[in-house]
């Protein structure tokens, strides 16, 4: 953080790269099928990326601090299931109560992860791999204890389903929620002291501690905030799909981590932005939508997804090497 | 095996296995024994569909004054059921009713169970035929495939472009049904219907949703989508219900009434089909109890009573077919709760 200006322009460069890739995919798909970029087409692209984008914001906060949360799929499943259960108890429950309950439960799950990581000092990879199974197990146990394996659209109020499928001024509600969260976290990360400290922790945890940064507390808070966002994502999933069972979100953690990495957040912490993570999510979901239109056979889609991830990481790596060289050169000039 | 007496190897094995030979000799007049212990082993314990099936099975066992229970793994991987089968053998259950995750992975354990006189019935998804006595099939694959085409044709007036939204590209059930759908479409009465694309949603909400979008976007004059998978049809219904395609593009397939109720009522979906999973389990429960009581042995042509469902006859390769799928629409959907 010696020369923030050069770093910031570097970040803009990385995000620009994702935007270029995104445009390339959209242009290719639009040439193949002009309706890809119709009003409905754009609406769908944003809608598809909204939930995964929201999860990517939370995940980016953690990855920036050199942590990771693999339990996001399970937390999302648990909170989606909670929203359904709440409506089974009382279908007239105000939607906001359910949203807050989902965020609350997500934050509690995040606090459990955070406490184990920050206080008990267990590596996040191991903690969240464990809670991935624990939270999913609770979800299953809850489903079988209440004998409610599936909660369906007709059991939820129309107002709640409208939250998932409706739009304001042509922008899907879910996209608006993600954009608001993105704006708030991007501002906080960039301008608040605590936000900057997350980068310091990720760059060098020991140095951060010696510099007087309360690393434990910051990491714990990042887990709680990320958990709350995942909880919100779970409620959004329930409103969006209208069918919930105990396996909602299974395997989602890898898609989220992929979005964050493609979005240019360094997996070893210390750099990256939440905007990049959201763009990464948008890029990956857009690729998924574009592949069938480009005529890629279904059997190959997964492989293409993975290849896209590898390309993104390679480009990112090449960029980082160049950046490191430039920083070294600048330092040499300063010393001379 | 037991059904085709010609294959000497199979019948030898059957006799060799039958240390408790009485279990293998069918006596149609035997009474169903009381207090039978029958275990249901689903693909995975929390799959909503399998839970319903097992509820039906346990009901059947209780009707017959036996003890039914459901045990099973929490993941549907090929080998995860084996340790459960071994435990059930040790517990000396009278019958094991299993939806096999993999036809071959469970075969050795099931053969071991049969050699110890335990009746083995598969339902929903079969094991290797020589590793079980009876397979209770939800419905004839051919009938499912063909009836889906009829459902769609009725809704689009017999002409136009249609697409299929399936599960994974290698899902056995769906691929068999699709094969029969394609065959049905070659009939003259469907000559004006064109199947333009098969998409795969991988039985994942998000993927199915996006594949449905892709179909609607890339085929502007699409008339209908057939989605022969419960995840696919509900994701597609959810998308169509909130898009401009509602009412213009017909959607049918296989789904549960509870899942589809909202979309039938709001006019997104006119009619879809499914067999009754509770009845599937119920039939499997009766088949298992009849086997364990020696009323039947799994040979072709044997008959048994299945409570409220009436009499069933065992077909080729020890297979019993539950019956044709039920069609659900606005008139009857509220009569069903599953």
Range of the domain at A137: 4-335
CATH of the domain at A110: 1.10.3470
Residues B86 and B124 in one domain: yes
Q: Which of B73, B214, B251 to mutate to test the interface with A (most CBs of A within 10 A)?
A: B214
Q: Is A159 on the interface with B (CB under 8 A)?
A: no
The alpha-carbon gap from B260 to the nearest alpha carbon of chain A, in Å, equals 8
Does B332 fall in a domain? no
Name the nearest CA neighbour of A57 among A190, A216, A233.
A233
User: For residue B5, what pLDDT is reported?
Assistant: 37
* pLDDT tens profile A116-150: 999 898 999 999 999 999 999 999 899 888 878 78
What mean pLDDT, rounded, does chain A reach?
88
Q: How many domains does chain A have?
A: 1
The verdict on a CB contact (< 8 Å) between B217 and A154 is: no
Q: Is residue B19 part of a domain?
A: yes
Q: Are residues B15 and B134 in the same domain?
A: yes
Which residues of chain A does B256 touch, with a Cβ-Cβ cutoff of 8 Å? 150
In this prediction, residue A268 carries a pLDDT of 84
Note the pLDDT tens digit of each residue in A230-277: 999 999 999 998 889 888 888 889 889 999 988 888 888 888 899 999
| Contact status of A240 with chain B (Cβ, < 8 Å) | yes
Q: Which of A37, A241, A281, A305 to mutate to test the interface with B (most CBs of B within 10 A)?
A: A241
Mutation to test the B interface, candidates A40, A43, A73, A242, most B Cβ within 10 Å: A242
Structure tokens at A150: 């599936």
> Considering the domain boundaries, does residue B74 fall inside one?
yes
Spell B155-194 as b/e; 16+ CB within 10 A means b: bbeeebbbbbbbbbbebebbbebbebbeebbeeeebeebe
The CA distance from B267 to B282, in Å, is: 33
Of B210, B244, B259, the CB nearest to A48: B210
**Rounded to 10 degrees, what is the CA torsion of A304, A305, A310, A314?**
90
Q: Is residue B328 part of a domain?
A: no
Antiparallel, parallel or unpaired: β B326-329 and B271-274: antiparallel
The answer on B159 and B238 residing in a single domain is yes
Q: For the segment A40-73, what is each residue's pLDDT rounded down to a tens digit?
A: 888 889 998 999 999 999 999 999 999 999 999 9
| Triad A108, A113, A115: Cα angle to 5° | 90
- Measure A226 CA to nearest chain B CA, in Å: 21
Q: Burial letters for A70-88: b for 16+ Cβ neighbours within 10 Å, e otherwise?
A: bbbbbbbbbbbbbbbbbbe
Q: Which range marks the domain in which residue B42 is found?
A: 8-139+277-323
Asked whether residue B302 falls in the same domain as residue B200, the answer is no
Find the helix or strand (DSSP H, E) in which A100 lies: helix A95-118
Closest B-chain CA to A47: B210
The DSSP H or E segment spanning A151 is: strand A150-151
Which of B288, B252, B70 lies closest to A149, judged by CA? B70
B183: closest CA of chain A, how far (Å): 22
Q: Which residues of A touch B200 (CB under 8 A)?
A: 298
Total structural domains within chain B:
2
Q: Is the pLDDT of residue B23 over 90?
A: no
What pTM, to 2 d.p., does this model score? 0.77
Final residue before a domain boundary, out of B274, B295, B311: B274
Flag whether pLDDT at A207 surpasses 80: yes
Question: What's the ipTM?
Answer: 0.75
Pick the closest to residue A64 from A246, A260, A209, A235 (CA basis): A260
CATH number, domain of B171, equals: 3.40.50.2300
What does the pLDDT average to over B248-264?
Answer: 93
pLDDT, residue B24, reads: 55
How many other β-carbons are positioned within 10 Å of the β-carbon of residue B216? 24
Is B176 found in the same domain as B297?
A: no
Q: Are residues B36 and B20 in the same domain?
A: yes
Mean pLDDT of the A175-181 span: 96
Residues of chain A positioned with their CB less than 8 A from the CB of B220? 35
CB-based contacts of B152, cutoff 8 Å, min separation 6: B162, B193, B224, B226, B250, B252
Residues B248 and B177 in one domain: yes
Q: Which of A40, A240, A299 sits opposite B169 (nearest CB)?
A: A299
pLDDT of A187: 96
SS3 A245: strand
pLDDT at B87 > cutoff 90: yes
Q: How far apart are CA A69 and CA A328, in angstroms?
A: 33
In chain A, how many H helices and how many E strands?
13, 4
B266 in the same domain as B310: no
What is the 3-state secondary structure of A268-308?
A: CCCCCCHHHHHHHHHHHHHHHHHHHHCCCCHHHHHHHHHHH
- Name the closest residue on chain A to residue B259, using Cα atoms: A152
CB–CB contact B258 A144 (8 Å): no
Instruction: Give residue A290's pLDDT.
Output: 87
- pLDDT class for B148, splitting at 50, 70, 90? very high
Largest CA distance in chain A: 73
Same domain for B218 and B127:
no
- B273 DSSP β-pair partners: B254, B327
User: Based on the domain organization, do B68 and B161 belong to the same domain?
Assistant: no
């Amino acid at each position: 953080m010696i020369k923030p200006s050069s770093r910031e322009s570097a970040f803009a460069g990385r995000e620009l790269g994702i935007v270029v890739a995104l445009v390339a995919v959209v242009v290719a798909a639009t040439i193949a099928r002009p309706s890809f970029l119709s009003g409905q087409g754009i609406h769908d692209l944003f809608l598809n990326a909204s939930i995964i984008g929201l999860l990517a914001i939370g995940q980016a906060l953690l990855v920036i601090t050199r942590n990771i949360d693999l339990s996001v799929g399970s937390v999302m499943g648990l909170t989606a299931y909670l929203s359904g259960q709440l409506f089974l108890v009382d279908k007239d429950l105000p939607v906001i109560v359910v949203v807050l309950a989902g965020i609350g439960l997500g934050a509690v799950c995040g606090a459990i992860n955070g406490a184990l990581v920050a206080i008990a000092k267990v590596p996040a990879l191991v903690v969240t791999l464990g809670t991935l199974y624990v939270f999913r197990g609770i979800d299953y146990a809850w489903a079988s204890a209440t004998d409610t394996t599936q909660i369906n659209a007709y059991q939820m109020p129309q107002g709640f389903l409208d939250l998932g499928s409706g739009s304001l001024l042509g922008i899907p509600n879910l996209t608006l929620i993600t954009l608001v969260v993105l704006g708030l976290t991007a501002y906080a990360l960039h301008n608040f002291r605590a936000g900057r400290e997350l980068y310091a922790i990720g760059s060098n945890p020991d140095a951060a501690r010696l510099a007087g940064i309360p690393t434990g507390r910051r990491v714990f808070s990042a887990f709680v905030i990320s958990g709350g966002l995942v909880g919100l994502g779970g409620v959004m999933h329930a409103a969006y799909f209208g069918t919930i069972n105990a396996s909602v979100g299974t395997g989602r953690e890898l898609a989220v981590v992929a979005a964050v990495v493609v979005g240019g957040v360094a997996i070893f912490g210390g750099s990256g932005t939440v905007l990049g993570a959201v763009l990464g999510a948008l890029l990956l979901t857009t690729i998924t939508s574009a592949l069938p239109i480009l005529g890629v056979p279904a059997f190959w889609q997964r492989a293409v997804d993975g290849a896209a991830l590898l390309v993104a990481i390679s480009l990112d790596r090449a960029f980082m090497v160049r950046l490191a060289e430039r920083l070294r050169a600048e330092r040499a000039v300063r010393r001379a | 095996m037991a059904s085709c007496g010609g294959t000497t190897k199979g019948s030898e094995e059957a006799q060799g296995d039958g240390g408790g030979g009485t279990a293998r000799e069918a006596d149609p007049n035997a009474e169903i024994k009381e207090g039978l212990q029958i275990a249901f082993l689903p693909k995975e314990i929390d799959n909503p569909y399998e839970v319903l099936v097992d509820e039906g099975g346990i009901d059947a066992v209780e009707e017959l004054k036996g003890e039914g229970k459901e045990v099973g793994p929490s993941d549907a991987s090929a080998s995860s059921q084996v340790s459960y089968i071994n435990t059930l053998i040790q517990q000396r259950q009278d019958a094991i009713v299993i939806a096999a995750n993999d036809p071959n992975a469970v075969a050795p354990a099931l053969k071991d169970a049969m050699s110890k006189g335990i009746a083995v019935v598969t339902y929903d998804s079969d094991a290797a035929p020589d590793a079980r006595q009876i397979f209770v099939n939800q419905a004839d694959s051919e009938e499912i495939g063909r009836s889906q085409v009829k459902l769609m044709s009725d809704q689009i007036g017999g002409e136009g472009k249609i697409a299929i939204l399936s599960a994974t590209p290698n899902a056995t059930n769906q691929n068999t049904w699709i094969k029969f759908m394609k065959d049905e479409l070659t009939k003259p009465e469907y000559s004006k219907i064109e199947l333009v694309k098969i998409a795969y949603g991988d039985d994942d909400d998000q993927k199915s949703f996006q594949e449905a979008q892709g179909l609607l976007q890339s085929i502007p004059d699409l008339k209908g989508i057939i989605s022969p998978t419960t995840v696919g049809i509900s994701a597609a219904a959810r998308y169509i219900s909130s898009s401009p395609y509602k009412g213009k593009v017909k959607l049918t397939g296989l789904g549960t009434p509870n899942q589809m109720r909202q979309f039938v009522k709001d006019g997104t979906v006119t009619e879809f089909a499914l067999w009754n999973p509770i009845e599937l389990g119920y039939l499997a429960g009766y088949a298992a109890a009849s086997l364990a009581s020696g009323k039947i042995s799994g040979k072709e042509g044997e008959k048994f009573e299945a409570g409220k469902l009436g009499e069933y006859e065992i077909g080729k390769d020890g297979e019993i077919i539950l019956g044709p799928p039920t069609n659900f629409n606005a008139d009857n959907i509220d009569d069903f709760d599953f």
